[in-house]
Amino acid sequence: MKKVFVGLSGGVDSAVSVTLLQKDGYDVTGVFIKAWTPEGYPCSWKEDRRSAMKVAAILNIPFITLDLEKEYKKEVVDYMIDEYRQGRTPNPDVMCNKEIKFGHFLKFALKNGADFVATGHYARMPPMSDVGNRCKRRTLGNQLLEGIDKNKDQSYFLWTLTQEQLKHILFPIGHLQKSEVRKLAGKFGLPQETRKDSQGLCFLGKINMKEFLARYIPQKRGDVLDLDGEIIGHHNGALFFTIGERHGFTITQKTESEVPLYVIAKNVEKNLITVSSKQELRHFGRSSNLSQEISIKDINLIGKIPNKNLSCRIRYRQEKIKCKIQIKDGQTRVIFDQPQIGISPGQSLVLYDGEICLGGGIID
């Protein structure tokens, strides 16, 4: 019997994951990861832990609470705040997976006799394409595939995984649709069947990001500009915005239409943001806001880059963009087949060959 430590968050995805693994004959232990909670925000971890414990009790499996509060604060929250201070747009969910779930949790599990860790991520690894095949040898190698449910696919957040880590990871529900997961929870008699999905950042949940960041970064009033450089409103700090965002700034001058306006550029030094509607940008074709190519750093490759049919995502749930990779003078550049808008330094660019996630890097 292979021993698996399963990250039990208290939600339906991890609850069904641990049940499937037990039914497959694994020796399963449930592990609840306790992360840092900001002062003054709702403390939900106790309720989440109780929900996770119920699953362990129903399945009659060992249950462990792994306290990673200090690690989460330092390696996820502090990283996020520092990136915003530098005018970049971080991806805390990627860092949470890298440092917490498949960093400290994986090391803890292996140190304590586990062969694998498992989570409720919507991602796959061949030939783990159905419930009964999870024990088979991975004849296709340690590939990371998109989840079957394209609305829930989380491969974008897993690009930092390495071949060595993938040897010890299971994704039990990646072959399922979300609706099927909930049905299985009901079939197995799990109370999580009707529990709402968690929203927002990994472990932190749904928080007002600007309000949270204002605790650590002073607000400073600045101007909102249109495509012609005219002042049409104000904001409380260019540092707080990410490219593509459409909330948090105030428009004081009437625009020709009431369509949503998106942040398309920001100047942290001058504390300015530029906004535009999608229609307006397409109409004027402002090349200064479009990027044909970008450079990436901190690259991690899971698989070999193909000579053709390479694509990427520069944000979660985005349609894949056809692209090419060029390495010159030690710099890696990604060249898009079509110019792109909304490039955010600090965000993740994730590479794909069809449904295979090949890894990625940080937009420089």
The DSSP 8-state label assigned to residue 306 in this structure reads: P
What is the end-to-end Cα distance of the chain in Å, rounded? 45
265, exposed or middle or buried, with CB in 10 Å at 0-12, 13-18, 19+? buried
Q: Determine how β-strand 27-34 pairs with β-strand 63-67.
A: parallel
- 202 catalytic, yes or no? yes
Give CA–CA dist 295/256, Å, rounded.
36
Structure pTM?
0.90
What are the φ and ψ backbone dihedral angles of 12, each rounded to 5 degrees? -70, -35
**Per-residue b/e over 121-158, b at no fewer than 16 CB within 10 Å?**
bbbbbbebeeeeebeeeeeeebbbbbbbbeebbbbbbb
Q: Determine how β-strand 222-225 pairs with β-strand 231-235.
A: antiparallel
In what helix (H) or strand (E) does residue 163 lie, and over which residues does it extend? helix 163-166
Domain parsing of the chain, residue ranges = 3-194, 218-284, 291-363
Is residue 192 scored above 50 in pLDDT? yes
CB within 8 A of 11, min separation 6: which ones? 48, 51, 120, 192, 195, 197, 198
Q: What's the gap between Cα 124 and its chain centre? A: 16
> 218-284: what fold?
SH3 type barrels. (2.30.30)
Match domain 3-194 to its CATH number in 3.90.1170.50, 3.30.9.10, 3.40.309.10, 3.40.50.620.
Answer: 3.40.50.620
Task: Please list the alpha-helical segments (H only) found in 27-161.
Answer: 45-59, 69-72, 78-85, 92-95, 105-111
Angstrom distances, CA of residue 239 to CA of 52, 215, 273? 37, 13, 9
- Reduce the DSSP state of residue 311 to 3 states and report it: strand
CB within 8 A of 271, min separation 6: which ones? 220, 221, 222, 223, 237, 238
Catalytic site residue from 43, 135, 202, 312: 202
Per the CB < 8 A criterion, the answer to whether 358 and 305 are in contact is yes
Q: What's residue 158's pLDDT?
A: 98
Token couple for 250: 């105030």
What are the φ and ψ backbone dihedral angles of 60, each rounded to 5 degrees? 60, 50
Q: What's residue 129's pLDDT?
A: 41
- 135 catalytic, yes or no? no
pLDDT tens profile 138-169: 444 589 999 999 999 999 999 999 999 999 99
Catalytic site residue from 43, 96, 135, 323: 96
> 291-363: what fold?
Elongation Factor Tu (Ef-tu); domain 3 (2.40.30)
**Residue 259 banded pLDDT, cuts 50, 70, 90:** confident
In what helix (H) or strand (E) does residue 180 lie, and over which residues does it extend? helix 178-187
pLDDT tens profile 76-130: 999 999 999 999 999 999 999 999 999 999 999 999 999 999 999 999 998 644 4
Region at 236 (left for phi over 0; alpha for psi -120 to 50; beta for the rest): alpha
pLDDT tens profile 2-52: 999 999 999 999 999 999 999 999 999 999 999 998 887 777 889 999 999
Strand order in the sheet with 3-7: 63-67, 27-34, 3-7, 116-118, 169-170
